[in-house]
Structures are given as C-alpha cells and as structure tokens.
Amino acid sequence: MSYKVLFPALRHGTVPCLAPLSCLTDSDEPENESKGLKLGAADYIRKSIHVSPLKARIDVHVALLRAEQNEDDVESLMTRII
C-alpha cells in the first residue's frame, strides 16, 4: 500500500496513530520525499537499507518519543503540585 494512502488513514482515522511514521521507498524523486514528509512522515528512508543506520534512525525516534513523554509527565506533575 502506498504511503500516500496509508499515512492519511493512520493520522486521521477513527483512532489516530500518534507514533512517528517512516516512509521506506525505492523512489529517489525529491518530490516524493517532500510529499511523504508533508503527509506526516517523521523520516524518509530510501532502499537499499543498511542495518546500522536504520537502527540509529529508529533509536533517534524512540529517544524523541521518550523525551516528549518525560516532558508531558513533568508538566502533568507540576500542574498537580501547583
């Protein structure tokens, strides 16, 4: 299934997906990368894939999610204290 169909369905469906979405493609057209990012892709990865950089990209997204969650937790705690 094309990310052009899948991403909007995931983002705007009955239960929206809040997780970062990555686009994995064999297309090297710059306009496709722009479209993917505008549709909500957090990352745009072109084939051929090398495991080490792919793992590093995933680790970055996981770290960003954790930092965001920690920020939300601190804000929630501060709201309850004040």
User: Per-residue pLDDT for the chain (82 aa), expressed as one digit of tens each?
Assistant: 788 888 888 888 888 888 888 998 998 899 999 998 998 899 999 998 999 999 999 999 899 888 888 887 777 767 777 6
For 18, the 3-state DSSP assignment is coil
User: Which pLDDT score is estimated for 54?
Assistant: 93
In a shared domain, residues 10 and 34:
yes
pLDDT in tens, 52-71: 999 999 999 899 888 888 88
User: Domain containing 36: what range?
Assistant: 1-49
Q: Which residues have C-beta within 8 Å of that of residue 42, sequence separation ≥ 6?
A: 20, 21, 22, 61
In a shared domain, residues 39 and 65:
no
Domain count, the chain: 2
For 15, the 3-state DSSP assignment is coil
